Amino acid sequence: MERELIKSLIKWKASQSRKPLILKGVRQCGKTYLLKEFGARCYQDTAYFNFEENEALKTVFEKDYDIKRIIFELELQHGKKIQTENTLIIFDEIQECGRALTSLKYFCENAPEYHIVCAGSLLGIALRKQLSFPVGKVDFMTLYPMSYVEFLRACGEENLANFIQSFKKGDAIPEIAANKLEAFLRQYYIIGGMPEAVRSWSLTRDIEAAEQIQQNIINSYELDFAKHAPVNEFPKLQAIWRSIPEQLAKENTKFIFSHVKKGWRAKDLEDALEWLIGAGLVYKVRRIEKPFIPLSSYADDTAFKLYMADVGILRKLSKLPYNIVLNANTSYKEFKGSLTENYVLGELVKSVDDTAYYWTSGNTAEVDFVIQCKEEIVPIEVKAEQHLKSRSLSEYRKKYAPKHAVKTSMLGDAAGEDVLKIPLYMICTMPTCIK
């Protein structure tokens, strides 16, 4: 399955200032697959080393950081010579070997001719613990669950994917395209963007098989809580994780610590929450009351919402039956908005690559997302279906007169005047539409 990030990897390969690369991303989002595909496509050979599967690899880095010796011993493991320009070196599950992480500094300084990429489960957690991390000596990229466009391509809908990516503000959306895009979007709400689930769905169209994969992924995440987190944090991690669907279903979706478990307070759960964020499992969207640059300076750390990294995992964890979503059933009215918001946030993270916030004005108004796009602050109102009335966005516009304001819903009208109306299935085009 084609991933958009491979384009960035190809640019990294060609860069004169290339450094060893660390690929971050939530577990099972396709990091290993992508790096192997990159190696197969762009190099004569790929030398793949997995520190979790092969304990002996760790001994390679124990003695010193002599690059010639390290390469020689890696060649013995690989079974052939590692060529500087023609071999891609992959260090997988690198979080299992702290000295391998440290060695990246010496590869950068003493042997930049080698092409090295690294990945690992819960790498965000490991990087926080790594005291001798090679700051400034590595490049970073992040792989997210598959976007809606990637989902379309995986399902064989190349024309629809190309239509979205070539779309410009003011372009007409044919009704037949709008109907198909809306139908596939509802499928995406169900399946999400975890590659294994997407692959199963694309090949079989068996929702129950895809759901079993989703459940396996959820189980593996919860096993990670027990395996990698401090023992005393495990019940807290699990409680926060399982409370997210419930908290998003509330009319006021602000995350409330006491709703996780009666008697628990913020100070009891802060470390566990940061662990989930570091693992890439959840997004934290903080509140602002003043939308000024830089947004981070106006964020309220005590008021925030939590969303999941993948909309399909959220849907499955919430135990929301797929038929209800597929048929646009009105019986899940309250949660429909949160599911839609989770999707929009995921697309914004992938396309804008910036932190999202939400805006409130006391208890009278709330705008779902506010993002900083270069030097512009853009408010975004999300509607699950075709209703576009928004008193909160109107209040925001009256108060701050933004250059652009966005409403997104299933309404297939991307033309805009004072407010830019972008269909949900087109929300990834927002950065180009506001230019």
User: 151-200: per-residue pLDDT in tens?
Assistant: 999 999 999 999 999 998 888 999 999 999 999 999 999 999 999 999 99
- Inter-CA distances, 215 with 28, 104, 191, 212, 220, Å: 13, 36, 11, 5, 9
Q: Which two tokens stand for residue 329?
A: 């059933």
Structure confidence at residue 131 (pLDDT): 54
Question: Which residues pair with residue 420 across a beta bridge?
Answer: 406, 416
* Whether residue 379 has pLDDT greater than 70: yes
Number of Cβ atoms within 10 Å of the Cβ of 414: 22
Q: pLDDT-based confidence at 395, cuts 50/70/90? A: very high
Residues in the chain, how many? 435
Q: Where do the structural domains in the chain lie, given as residue ranges?
A: 6-142, 148-433
Among 28-32, 170-174, 216-220, 249-253, the range scoring the smallest mean pLDDT is 249-253
Q: What pLDDT is attached to residue 253?
A: 80
Helix (H, G, I), strand (E, B) or coil at 21: strand
pLDDT band at 417 (very low <50, low <70, confident <90, very high): low
Residue 230 is predicted with a pLDDT of 86
The pLDDT assigned to 331 comes to 66
Read off the pLDDT of residues 40-60 as tens digits, 9 standing for 90 and up: 999 999 999 999 999 999 999
Sequence-ordered list of residues with C-beta below 8 angstroms from that of 330, at least 6 positions apart, any chain: none
Closest-CA residue to 405 (of 419, 424, 415, 426): 419
pTM score, two decimals? Answer: 0.94
Predicted pLDDT at 387: 64
Q: What is the largest CA-CA distance in the chain?
A: 68
Residue 113: the pLDDT is 97
The pLDDT value recorded for residue 335 is: 82
CA distance 377 to 375: 7
Phi-psi region of 263 (alpha: psi -120 to 50; beta: other; left: phi over 0): left
Residue 271: what pLDDT? 92
pLDDT digits (tens, 9 = 90+) for 219-228: 999 999 998 8
Which listed CATH number (2.40.50.100, 3.60.20.40, 3.40.50.300, 3.55.40.20) goes with 6-142?
A: 3.40.50.300
| Strand ordering across the sheet containing 139-142 | 45-50, 87-92, 115-118, 21-24, 139-142
Q: How far apart are CA 93 and CA 329, in angstroms?
A: 42
Structure tokens at 290: 């003043």
Span of 21-25, 42-46, 333-337, 431-435 with lowest mean pLDDT: 333-337
Q: What is the mean pLDDT of the chain?
A: 92
β-strand pairing of 376-382 with 406-409: parallel
- Amino acid letter for position 384: A
Asked if the model's pLDDT at residue 99 lies above 80, the reply is yes
Q: Which pLDDT belongs to residue 408?
A: 94
**What is the rounded average pLDDT of the residues 421-425?**
94
- For residues 145 and 165, give the distance between their C-alpha atoms in angstroms, rounded to a whole number: 18
pLDDT at 304 over 90: yes
As a whole number of angstroms, the distance between CA 286 and CA 392 comes to 17
Using CA atoms, how far residue 54 sits from 77, 94, 125, 154, in Å, is 10, 11, 21, 32
Question: Which of 374, 317, 361 shows the shortest CA–CA distance to 342?
Answer: 317
Q: What letter represents residue 417's amino acid? A: E
CA–CA separation, 100 and 109 (whole Å): 15
